[in-house]
Amino acid sequence: MNAPILDTFLFVALPYVCLFTFLLMTIHRYRAQSFSYSSLSSQFLENRLHFWAVVPFHYGILAVTAGHLIAFLIPRGILVWNSHPLRLYVLEISALACGLLTLIGLGGLLVRRAMTSRLRRVTTVTDWILFGMLLVQTAGGVAIAVFRPWGSSWFASNLSPYLWSVLMLNPDLSYVTGMPILVRAHIVLAFVIIGFFPFTRLVHLLVIPNPYLWRKPQVVRWYGRR
Amino acid sequence: MVFHLDKCIGCHTCSIACKNVWTDRRGAEYMWWNNVETKPGTGYPTKWEDQDKYQGGWKLNGSGGLDIRSTSKTKIVPNIFHNPHMPGMDDYYEPWTYDYQNLFNAPEGSDQPTAEPISMIDGEKIDVQSGPNWDDDLGGSPIYAENDPNLDGLTEQQRLQLSSVERLVFFYLPRICNHCLNPCCVASCPSGALYKRGEDGIVLIDQQKCRAWRSCVAACPYKKTYFNWFTGKSEKCILCFPRLETGQAPACFHSCVGRIRYLGVLLYDAERLEAVAKLPDDELVEGHRSLILDPHDPEVISEALENGVSEAVIESAQNSPVYRFVKEWRIALPPHIEYRTLPMLFYVPPMSPVQASRSEDTITHSSDNLFHDIDESRVPMKFLASLFGAGHEGVVRYALAKQKAVRWHRRAETVGDVDRETADRMLREADCSREEADAIYRLTSLCTFEDRFVIPPMHREQAIEMMKEPHEHREEAGFGFVGGPRRGL
């Protein structure tokens, strides 16, 4: 009885609240707090574990996020790819491997921050909340990959339409109501993280320095002329 | 900029002036935009000249182009998350203070309370193992002086001599950002936050644009960009531009007790920069010097005016003490030009104590070779050449010989213990005229504030006038942040 109301809140209201927060606050923060629009690098304070934690985490999460994004954008392509069992296995296993890589890297990051007293000084409460959320989300993702396999297919067939329906401002709950609790939690937390995004160090992924590869090496600024 | 090393007494006044003005802040405690090193020594950060370790500066690639050694454009993409060559805090030192509160708050006991060292990062008690100038005056010491990367080119015998007690020697090397013509830090910044100011060539980091990718710290071969661990931004020497713009010398220059520092305008040919930066090692010093243009040449003056250089700047260039040391007299040399950043800070290499030669029971300091004490000086020429000549001794010997000739010329003039003929022969051999020797002597020994710092007015007011009402600007302008450089929420 309560379920539909809860569902409406979790899968209709919450996504919109989070998406709008994301949209407004990222722009607002860029305009108002441009100084802190980056991740506070701690490589300077701890240079050894940094490599073993940061690198696997970033490569892992980039691959996993790209996977989600592709399944969201071209679900048909994924389904066609998965029509052959061997290709499905390859996709599932590499996705799981990337998920584990992320999880290991994230674990390393947390241990590194918790164990090094220098690093605790540069870790804010916001950081800890974010790390907690990412840890739960990644662990949940890996758990789904293990206990609810063939996610690449059912994401493409069921979740992608739901996400598109949210994006098209015509949310269709029928796709998610029947989903297992693990998957539903993953979806909800994903939206929460998106909403939390502009308040955290995650904003650094919006300022990836793309013009660098094309600009001239030297930069000169003039005051009065040119 | 010229630093006259023969006059540096290693008092660290410059470092303290800089520290008090700019880096006495959280996150910047460990930074010494200006530091003074003892050479031979390992320096700050430890062994910064060892580019096998730090991978700073430029290198020539196979096809004759220049690549940033640490993270070239192709290497930055896979290495964006973890910079493989960035020095960590332990390569500098962990800044500390003392637990003074304990002197007041310690419970009553049988011992005197002490103020123990505590880390300025995490406040924990630390066992201090290293600090800035930890190798101060430790010429000849086994852990510091013997590990100087510049000793690599020396023979085993020369190394042994350097550490033998009766031949111990050291000199000081004050270092600030070189405000290079081909700055590696600028070229390496993925965000494009670093830039060179067109008007005066100062290299700055835009604190709003810096996104903490840390490339500049690894790329600068002199390790003069620093990472502020608290604000997550890189910082560096700003050549006290707020002072320069109002006609004052930078704090380190102004406070220099030995008056070793000179500041003046150099006009240079920016179009040939790239070609010069690609020259082979032995041609770099001369190539770099050839970039500097004669400010008295009518052609140069008209070109400069055409390019919008104001007459005041040209006039300053004509009176520039730096131009005289570097170009006219050729006795000031760039540090480690083989890093190919074309530094704009030049050093007059130091004379070192004469190496006594023992004949039977007496120790003599004389020889038929008038320049014997340069060729056989306690600091091997090879060592100085590694610092100031990209490993080639010619330019260093030239600078030292000329300095010695000036001394003997002045001795002949004023003391009279050297005969005029010998002095003239020395001047001739050192490629120096009497007039030039006198000029070098005056600018070295009798220089006033105005002789050392020839700073042109910036005419910022004219630039501002074009934009808005000057009085209005005065009310709005100021340095720093409205809200303070804070991070996050």
Tens-place pLDDT, residues B215-236: 999 999 999 999 999 999 999 9
B229 and B323, same structural domain? no
Q: What confidence score (pLDDT) does residue B481 get?
A: 61
Provide, as residue numbers in chain B, all residues whose Cβ is less than 8 Å from the Cβ of A209: 190-192, 211, 213
B379 and B270, same structural domain? yes
Provide, as residue numbers in chain A, all residues whose Cβ is less than 8 Å from the Cβ of B485: 35
B154 and B190, same structural domain? yes
Query: What is the spatial distance between Cα A155 and Cα A145, in angstroms, rounded to a whole number?
Result: 11
Residues counted in chain B: 489
Residue B298 token pair: 């009518």
Number of H helices, E strands in chain A: 11, 1
pLDDT bracket for residue B376 (50, 70, 90) = confident
Q: What confidence score (pLDDT) does residue B482 get?
A: 61
Q: What is the separation of C-alpha A41 from the centre of its chain, rounded to a whole number of angstroms? A: 19
Residues paired with B4 in a beta bridge? B348
Q: What confidence score (pLDDT) does residue A191 get?
A: 96
The domain that contains B417 carries what CATH number?
Answer: 3.30.70
| B76–A36 C-beta distance less than 8 A | no
Residue A83 and residue A121 in contact, taking contact as beta carbons nearer than 8 Å:
no
Residues paired with B205 in a beta bridge? B194
Residue B219 token pair: 């790329």
Q: How far is A107 from chain B (nearest CA, A)?
A: 16
Q: How far is A76 from chain B (nearest CA, A)?
A: 31
Provide the 10 A C-beta neighbour count for residue B198: 16
Tell me whether residue B306 is in a domain.
yes
Provide the angle, in degrees to the nearest 10, between the axes of the packed helices A14-32 and A160-167. Answer: 60
Residue type, B253: F
Preceding peptide of B380 cis, ω within 30°: no
Residue after which a domain boundary falls, among B255, B283, B298: B255
Which among A116, A145, A124, A144 is positioned nearest to A44, based on CA atoms? A116
Residue B243 and residue B251 in contact, taking contact as beta carbons nearer than 8 Å:
yes
Stretch A209-213: mean pLDDT, rounded? 81
- Nearest by CB to residue B211, choosing from A59, A118, A207, is A207
Residue B224 CB burial class (10 angstroms; 0-12, 13-18, ≥19)? buried
Tell me whether residue B415 is in a domain.
yes
- Nearest by CB to residue A43, choosing from B82, B119, B192, is B82
| B122–A117 C-beta distance less than 8 A | yes
Query: What is the spatial distance between Cα B67 and Cα B295, in angstroms, rounded to a whole number?
Result: 32
Which among B86, B97, B94 is positioned nearest to B30, based on CA atoms? B94
Q: Is the pLDDT of residue A1 over 80?
A: no
Stretch B14-42: mean pLDDT, rounded? 95
B181 and B232, same structural domain? yes
Q: How far is B88 from chain A (nearest CA, A)?
A: 4
Stretch A78-100: mean pLDDT, rounded? 93
Tell me whether residue B105 is in a domain.
no
Query: What is the spatial distance between Cα B380 and Cα B151, in angstroms, rounded to a whole number?
Result: 9
CA angle in degrees (0–180, nearest 5) for B460-B191-A216: 80
Maximum Cα interatomic distance, chain A, rounded to a whole number of Å: 70
pLDDT bracket for residue B362 (50, 70, 90) = low
| A218–B183 C-beta distance less than 8 A | yes
For the ranges A135-139, B101-105, B304-308, B471-475, the lowest mean pLDDT is seen at B471-475
Q: Where are the alpha helices (DSSP H) in A116-155?
A: 117-120, 125-147, 151-154
* Gyration radius (Cα) of chain A, Å: 20
Q: Looking at per-residue confidence, does A151 or A102 come out higher?
A: A102
In chain A, the percentage of residues whose pLDDT exceeds 70 is: 97
For B218, the closest chain A residue by CA position comes to A44
Q: Is the pLDDT of residue B381 over 50?
A: yes
CA angle in degrees (0–180, nearest 5) for B306-B311-B313: 105
The β-bridge relationship of strands B35-39 and B171-175 is antiparallel
B238 and B330, same structural domain? no
pLDDT bracket for residue B359 (50, 70, 90) = low
For the ranges A11-15, B404-408, B456-460, the lowest mean pLDDT is seen at B456-460
Residue A20 and residue A198 in contact, taking contact as beta carbons nearer than 8 Å:
no
Q: Looking at per-residue confidence, does B77 or B434 come out higher?
A: B434
Q: What confidence score (pLDDT) does residue B72 get?
A: 83
Residue B38 and residue B136 in contact, taking contact as beta carbons nearer than 8 Å:
yes
Residues paired with B234 in a beta bridge? B227
Q: DSSP state, B453? A: B
Which among A27, A12, A59, A8 is positioned nearest to A197, based on CA atoms? A27
Q: Is the pLDDT of residue B285 over 90?
A: yes
Distances (CA, A) of B104 to A146, A166, B109, B112, B119: 60, 64, 13, 11, 19
B152 and B76, same structural domain? yes
| A226–B186 C-beta distance less than 8 A | no
Q: How far is B185 from chain A (nearest CA, A)?
A: 9
Residue after which a domain boundary falls, among B255, B285, B305: B255
For the ranges A158-172, B251-265, B465-479, the lowest mean pLDDT is seen at B465-479
Please name the residue that has the structure tokens 């670093």: B194
DSSP, collapsed to helix, strand or coil, labels residue A39 as coil
Give the count of domains, chain B: 2
B234 and B309, same structural domain? no
The number of C-alpha atoms within 13 Å of A192 and in the hemisphere containing its C-beta is 15
B246 and B218, same structural domain? yes
The conformational region for residue A51 under phi > 0 = left, psi -120 to 50 = alpha, else beta, is: alpha
Q: DSSP state, B412? A: I
Q: What confidence score (pLDDT) does residue B251 get?
A: 96
Stretch B119-126: mean pLDDT, rounded? 93
Q: Chains A, B: CB contacts under 8 A, how many?
A: 132
pLDDT bracket for residue B366 (50, 70, 90) = low
Tell me whether residue B141 is in a domain.
yes
Q: How far is B196 from chain A (nearest CA, A)?
A: 5
Which among B204, B28, B32 is positioned nearest to A44, based on CA atoms? B28
Tell me whether residue B72 is in a domain.
yes
Q: What confidence score (pLDDT) does residue A71 get?
A: 92
Q: Looking at per-residue confidence, does B358 or A220 come out higher?
A: A220
Residue A170 token pair: 């015509």
Q: What confidence score (pLDDT) does residue A226 get?
A: 47
Distances (CA, A) of B288 to B194, B280, B304, B475: 23, 12, 19, 43
- Across chain B, mean pLDDT equals 90
| Domain range for B139 | 2-88+130-255
Residue type, B84: P
B340 and B249, same structural domain? no
Q: What is the separation of C-alpha A130 from the centre of its chain, rounded to a whole number of angstroms? A: 11
Helix (H) or strand (E) holding B309: none
Q: What confidence score (pLDDT) does residue B489 get?
A: 47
Q: Where are the alpha helices (DSSP H) in B25-72?
A: 51-54
The domain that contains B170 carries what CATH number?
Answer: 3.30.70.20
Query: What is the spatial distance between Cα B365 and Cα B354, in angstroms, rounded to a whole number?
Result: 7
B208 and B149, same structural domain? yes
Domain parsing of chain A, residue ranges:
2-213
Preceding peptide of B334 cis, ω within 30°: no
| B122–A118 C-beta distance less than 8 A | yes
Q: Is the pLDDT of residue B367 over 90?
A: no
pLDDT digits over B144-194, tens only?
A: 888 899 998 888 888 888 888 778 889 999 999 999 999 999 999 999 999
What does residue A108 show for φ and ψ, rounded to 5 degrees? -60, -45
DSSP, collapsed to helix, strand or coil, labels residue B325 as helix
Stretch B391-403: mean pLDDT, rounded? 94
* ipTM associated with this complex: 0.90
Domain A2-213 has CATH 1.20.1250.20: no
Q: What confidence score (pLDDT) does residue B166 get?
A: 77
For the ranges A104-108, A140-144, B234-238, B455-459, the lowest mean pLDDT is seen at B455-459
Query: What is the spatial distance between Cα B413 and Cα A104, in angstroms, rounded to a whole number?
Result: 77
Stretch B229-245: mean pLDDT, rounded? 93
Residues counted in chain A: 226
Query: What is the spatial distance between Cα B176 and Cα B214, in angstroms, rounded to a whole number?
Result: 19
- Nearest by CB to residue B190, choosing from A43, A199, A209, is A209
Tell me whether residue B470 is in a domain.
no
Q: What confidence score (pLDDT) does residue B457 get?
A: 79
pTM of the predicted model over 0.95: no
Helix (H) or strand (E) holding B139: none
Residue B198 and residue B216 in contact, taking contact as beta carbons nearer than 8 Å:
no
Tell me whether residue B272 is in a domain.
yes
Tell me whether residue B482 is in a domain.
no
pLDDT digits over B289-346, tens only?
A: 999 999 999 999 999 999 888 899 999 999 999 999 999 999 999 999 999 999 999 9
